[in-house]
Structure 1
């Protein structure tokens, strides 16, 4: 492949293997201990008063270290260090390096640099003078103290918490530099001020290289990071041939060359991304065999390039990369997931996913009590039945049959996928595929944060659960739903009970007090799909954010085109060339699509804010943040206050019944989803980490569903069933926890923007969080910009902190948003003596009960007909997962 050849050629140009280091000179014979006392007359090679170590003679063999030719510093591997504290020092000047950053003193200013390239000095970071004192005659500060100790001018006996600094004559007991007390300082060297040769040297904060005076006129402190052997440079030697500074390790790449290499990688990956995204766009906007093949070929090319980049960057030792930004780029580029698999295993991995999705997407059932009306698919047939039917037996039947026709058939394939996914994780130097899914969050305690956020929300969910259980008990009867039991999964309006929005008609707190639907008003005012997106654009420009570029309007697909098949799921696309951004959506003129238009354009705003970053950084700071931003915007757009500002509502009713209905409807969607998403991925983490084996898959799944959601299956389940496989993301092997993260973060972001806009005051009923609209707030726009512009160049905690002042997941903002509803639910449940929570009321799953081979008619088991043959694998199915990686597809959760 051309791009691969270019990359390898770039590597050959950028990185040349250095010559091997010369063998070190034999260690000089140890001196008697008596000669190790401080000698004020000792003179080093540069005729400068020097220092001499104590407690260890030269060449004592301790950890195979040697003294340098001046008899003072020791080498450990490739770095000169002092004796006891093992802090790297410069072999020529004897000045200590910072132990973390290994940046040298600037020979002219006697400054030392920390890991952020800030000079150490006194408390004001003043440079040391030539006599080793800081500005105004103040003593220099000990490295370990980091400038924490105040200056004590003229005090030769100052000591503080292990860090020491002195002004005046030094005696054998006064130690400078390392807190390990392994060096004795003689008088500071005087600098003759002779200029350095006209070449560059590392160390200066304001310039990548430093040209300044050397220590002795002809021996510069350090050479450039290139492999030259000039005086004091890498590989230079003293009069006796011993190395003053060792050659760098074989896998050391100077920073400038590493930066050039990453620039080439960025160019190649950007070009390949443009090609891959364009091919996927062509497929999704014109589904046919030709575009399908082109999209698959482009994806394979992308995987090859990912592997080539990873193999190249694996030659770089991150321990030798001082620049944190370059190290971060390499780390992110080196973790590529399943693409790291060898080609044959990658083909098998994709084949397993294709086979499972073929079963999932071809699964059909027959209608309840109508055995001749068959071919009912998940979408739209079964989804509509689960949403609209109120027939207990029909809902039981559909719930069970879908799982029998989908998840049950892929159980063995999924088990194979688990093993192969873990192989892929090991190719990425990770322990399990669960660790690969956690990698983008870059937070060691992230799973704890998830649990903590859920526990913060759980009291609100339990109040909602109790209220809904009472309403369903009143509707279906106490013989089917008891007062304290978990809720049966089949009567909640959704195939997976992850959203309860479709049972609003049964559970609405104030019937007849309907919340706003401006669809009819939009039609009456002549709205079109294009006008809806122009309205969304004006929302962002009112906040001082960017207008859409010309390419957006000419290239986006905002309506379903005639005469060709289009994947209509709303999605936002970044073509990786910093100018071409698009939305694909089969828009209808209604309120739901108006909100979705704003949501999708939030992704475009995100793309444009980080477009100038390297390709590896052009993404959200974590997998859920893109979605969180879009949903945070939606919270404002759907408010009566905003719809009134658009002229779609003449007078918004603001009273308790309307507010409670509004919050309740939203809570039915947002709250049940949290425990569902957490349980689903906790189950998969346990599976990937082999905490649960194949014969525990299904029962463990139901244990987690009951524990987190208070949901139980309508029938006793067994390990012959595989109910998690009835959810698309499981056979597609797509992580789900990002939706949990997005749900929590959207309220944190919303709260921060509302506070900045002056639209939120917890003590003011008119400025409650659920009423906030950030439209026309430039201050809220600043919050969004700060969050978006960093892309993934910073961790998500850092990006979130820059925007909101918080760096962790926090469920309190969600609780605050729903506070009026929570108070209402508490009072209502108290009034009816409802139990908030649930109690285990029997077995939900047993290993030995064989229900998988049975069908249900009217609630009774009957022998099932023969198993449906699994459909053939199609490239179209793989492209669904590819699209998720290339665009911000609003996949149904």
Structure 2
């Protein structure tokens, strides 16, 4: 047996040396028990038991989400705790075995997923502590209330993130009010979490190192099963950046027109409170300021839906017909029986739209408080794409019932969204009379998509870049590190001075909630890559943004072939299927192709601008960087001494 082990170990080393597209998992924790038949039975039982436990958890979560009572919340927490305990015990069973000896590649792959996605290497006390910390941070986040701009009395400080803060950021054009709301939210959410977050980082790193990773960031990236994934992503951002800078420059010009050069320098970064979004991640709410042709026909079907007497059921029936036109599956009876497609009248429900897999092979649902408007129409198609994924990989083992990598579910759903929300599709289903060659309408459409998609790219990219930097380098100067990245990648600065007492990164819920974020950047790339390939299969001719894959069974076949694999194959193999064999790498080529007409238009609009992009000054970094602030103070003091004639004192100033 020792000879076999040595050979397998040598092969694993050779694979890593050759940089095969797999994770070099020989470092991962493993035991000495060599009974592979016994380990196989453990994995079989894990898949069976996990499906049942998942059903109980989903049922409890659904019951609470659709009827938010204290009793239902308690039941949900109990079920989630049972699942966490079961996962922890299963992890500890598996790592007792020398699982690298497993010759069944499918089972070995499942074992690896059990190991790399858990923190069960921690002692029971620390395992409970880290999840309690996460729960505490989420509670702090959810309970934050801020004061309105016009009245600071404590009894009126009741504004919540949703819908109050989001609505103010969306609609207000008063820079003082926007600044007040931005400051209130960031000042109240960060400081109470800072010490908890620092302890969370410490525990997450301990768990990762005991599992075999350098730190928690490396553990997080291991889910992509690609040794050089960070470099691959960096390459894609480098090629998107010129287009992003053109958009940024045009938007800055419009913001200056609205708020004046005292608020934004003509060649500088933009303060974070002016984008119509509390995180400055989505600029869609700036449409009224930046739309190129405001009098052109709007791409909106809300009025037509209302006039036609649409209800929620009709919207979802149309969504289902889109998928069956591709040759994909109809929704099962349980979907129509149990889904929540409208806001309940006598219950308090979470209205965040979501798709649900109840892990029993028959029960799949959508929860949406549908409104009769364009947004709900598109959202219904998006969520049903997730259901299609669930339906197609339903026969895979529990551990393979997921997207091929963390970005695939959103990437595929968003690719469908590109086909649904465009002039071509609305024209084909009879709700848009004009052709798709109207220049003004097309540029407006692409600008709207750019404000949603392109503006999001650097933010989606930098969130986990920051998180991994903290895991790797430590918790000193966390806030300045956050704003360094915001300035470097987004051209965004804080609108008011920040210190290390703040922790502005946790203003984004995914960070205190321990939810990986790089998946959204990966999904953005996949969205356009998949869309271009499906359009090719549908034999689309013309500009990419005008493609509609409706009724293309060829496009549907490509989707079906990929969706049914779930997570059973490496994501690069699945991507190769989706791109019809053209590539297995993440690429920005398709997103650039999609926005080609807008890119050309932006270059013309920006031709007289002093700078495409932004310059950062000492004044910008002074806002948040303690080192720069202390240096600036010294320089300022020197200037004063020169002015008053005490230059002889300067020899003592560093």
TM-score, normalization by structure 2: 0.89
Aligned to 2:159: 376
Instruction: Find 2:191's aligned residue among 408, 433, 436.
Output: 408
3-state secondary structure, aligned to 1:718: coil
Task: Say yes or no: does 1:672 pair with 2:455.
Answer: yes
Shift of 1:634: 0.5
- CA–CA separation in structure 1 for the residues paired with 2:589 and 2:260: 36
**Equivalent-residue separation in structure 1 for 2:33 and 2:120 (angstroms):** 25
Alignment of structure 1 residues 352-391 onto 2, 5 Å:
352-372=133-153, 373-391=156-174
CA contact (8 A) 2:32 2:98 kept: no
**Aligned counterparts of 1:680 and 1:251: Cα–Cα separation in 2:** 40
Aligned with residue 798 of structure 1, among 556, 573, 594 = 573
Contact 1:467 1:834 in 2 (8 A): no
CA contact (8 A) 1:306 1:336 kept: no
Which residue of structure 1 lines up, in the alignment, with residue 644 of structure 2? none
User: Per the alignment, in what secondary structure is the counterpart of residue 356 of structure 2?
Assistant: strand
Q: Is the 8 A contact 2:34 2:99 kept in 1?
A: no
Pick from 649, 654, 659 the counterpart of residue 442 of structure 2: 659
Q: 1:79: how far off?
A: 5.0
Deviation at 1:250, TM superposition (A): 7.2
C-alpha distance in 2, partners of 1:725/1:326? Answer: 38
Aligned residue number for residue 351 of structure 1: 132
What are the residue-to-residue correspondences of 1:469-618 with 2, within 5 Å?
469-618=252-401
- The residue that corresponds to 1:808 in the other structure is 585
Distance change in 2, residues 1:346/1:79 (3 Å)? closer
Number of equivalences: 605
User: Structure 1's 409 and 848: CA in aligned 2 closer, same or farther, altered over 3 A?
Assistant: farther
Partner of residue 839, structure 1: 615
Q: In terms of mean alpha carbon deviation, does 453-462 or 383-392 score higher?
A: 383-392
Does residue 412 of structure 2 align to residue 633 of structure 1?
no
Residue equivalent to 2:516? 735
Shift of 1:374: 2.7
8 Å CA contact 1:487–1:711 kept in 2: the answer is yes
Task: Work out which of the residue numbers 501, 504, 511 in structure 2 matches 1:723.
Answer: 504
Q: Distance in 1 between matches of 2:249 and 2:360?
A: 51
Written as runs of structure 1 = structure 2, the 5 A alignment for 1:740-779 is: 740-760=521-541, 767-779=542-554
Q: Which has the higher contact order (CA 8 A, sep 6+)?
A: 2
Superposed displacement of residue 342, structure 1: 3.4
Do the aligned residues in 1 keep the contact of 2:256 with 2:263 (CA within 8 Å)? yes
**Alpha-carbon distance between aligned partners in 2 of 1:403 and 1:252, rounded to the nearest angstrom:** 53
- Aligned equivalent of 1:781, options 556, 559, 579: 556
Name the SS for the 2:453 alignment partner. Answer: helix
Distance 1:823 1:632 in 2: 23
1:17 maps to none
1:250/1:359 Cα in 2 relative to 1: closer, same or farther (>3 Å)?
closer
SS of 1:465's partner is: helix
Task: Give the structure with higher Rg (CA).
Answer: 1
Q: Could you tell me which of 586, 593, 597 is aligned with 1:820?
A: 597
Q: Deviations over 1:439-458 (max 9, x none)?
A: 21111111111111111111
Task: Measure how far apart 1:697 and its partner are.
Answer: 0.7
C-alpha contact 1:514 1:661 (8 A) present in aligned 2: no
2:365 partner SS: strand
Report whether the alignment pairs 1:269 with 2:46: no
Q: Could you tell me how far 1:557 is from its partner in structure 2?
A: 1.0
Match among 429, 449, 458 for residue 232 of structure 2:
449
Q: Distance in 1 between matches of 2:117 and 2:123?
A: 12
Cα deviation for residue 340 of structure 1 reads: 4.8
Range with bigger deviation, 548-557 or 420-429: 420-429
- In 2, Cα distance between the equivalents of 1:577 and 1:77? 42
* Residue-by-residue CA offset, 1:277-310 (whole Å, 9 max, x unaligned): 1111111111112211111111111112212222
Which 10-residue stretch deviates more, 783-792 or 344-353?
Answer: 344-353
Asked whether the equivalents of residues 301 and 373 of structure 2 are also in contact (C-alpha less than 8 Å), the reply is yes
Q: Verify: 1:253 aligned to 2:35, yes or no.
A: yes
Query: Is the CA contact 1:376–1:382 (under 8 Å) kept in the aligned structure 2?
Result: yes
Separation (CA, whole Å) in 2 of partners of 1:564 and 1:412 = 37
Written as runs of structure 1 = structure 2, the 5 A alignment for 1:681-692 is: 681-689=464-472, 691-692=473-474
Residue 258 of structure 1 and its aligned partner are, at CA, apart by: 4.7
Tell me the residue number matched to 1:304: 85
- Following superposition, the deviation at residue 78 of structure 1 comes to 4.2
Instruction: Give the aligned CA root-mean-square deviation in angstroms.
Output: 2.2
Q: What CA distance in whole angstroms lies between the structure 1 residues aligned with 2:224 and 2:200?
A: 23
How far apart, CA to CA, are the structure 1 residues paired with 2:251 and 2:160?
A: 29
Once the two structures are TM-superposed, the CA of residue 419 in structure 1 deviates from its matched residue by 0.9
1:16 matched residue in structure 2: none
Deviating more after overlay: 426-435 vs 501-510? 426-435
Contact 2:460 2:517 in 1 (8 A): yes
Is 1:357–1:732's contact at 8 Å kept on the other side of the alignment? yes
Contact 1:518 1:590 in 2 (8 A): yes
CA distance in 2, matches of 1:327, 1:616: 11
- Looking at structure 1, the residues matched to 142 and 101 of structure 2 have their Cα atoms a distance apart, in angstroms, of 49
Q: Is the contact between residue 335 and residue 428 of structure 1 (CA under 8 Å) also seen in structure 2?
A: yes
* Structure 1 residue matching 2:389: 3-state secondary structure: helix
User: How far is 1:627 from its partner?
Assistant: 0.6
Q: Deviations over 1:368-417 (max 9, x none)?
A: 24223432222222211111111122211211121111112211111111
**Distance change in 2, residues 1:581/1:635 (3 Å):** same
| CA 1:403–1:364: 2 relative to 1, 3 Å | same
8 Å CA contact 2:57–2:80 kept in 1: the answer is yes
Q: Within 1, Cα distance between the matches of 2:138 and 2:32?
A: 47
What is the distance in 2 between the residues matched to 1:410 and 1:535? 45
Q: Does 1:279 pair with 2:60?
A: yes
The alpha-carbon deviation at position 254 of structure 1 amounts to 4.9
Change (3 A) 1:386 1:269: same
Answer 1 or 2: which has greater helix percent.
Answer: 2
Unaligned runs of 5+ in 1: 1-75, 81-85, 89-97, 102-114, 116-248, 761-766, 851-893
How far 1:581 sits from its partner (Å)? 0.8
Q: Distance in 2 between matches of 1:794 and 1:501?
A: 36
Distance of 1:719 and 1:687 partners within structure 2: 14
Post-superposition shift, 1:739? 0.8
* Residues 211-222 of structure 1 mapped to structure 2, 5 A cutoff: none
Q: Distance in 1 between matches of 2:315 and 2:90?
A: 42
Q: Does 1:710 align with 2:464?
A: no
Distance 1:263 1:649 in 2: 52
Aligned counterparts of 2:578 and 2:337: Cα–Cα separation in 1? 33
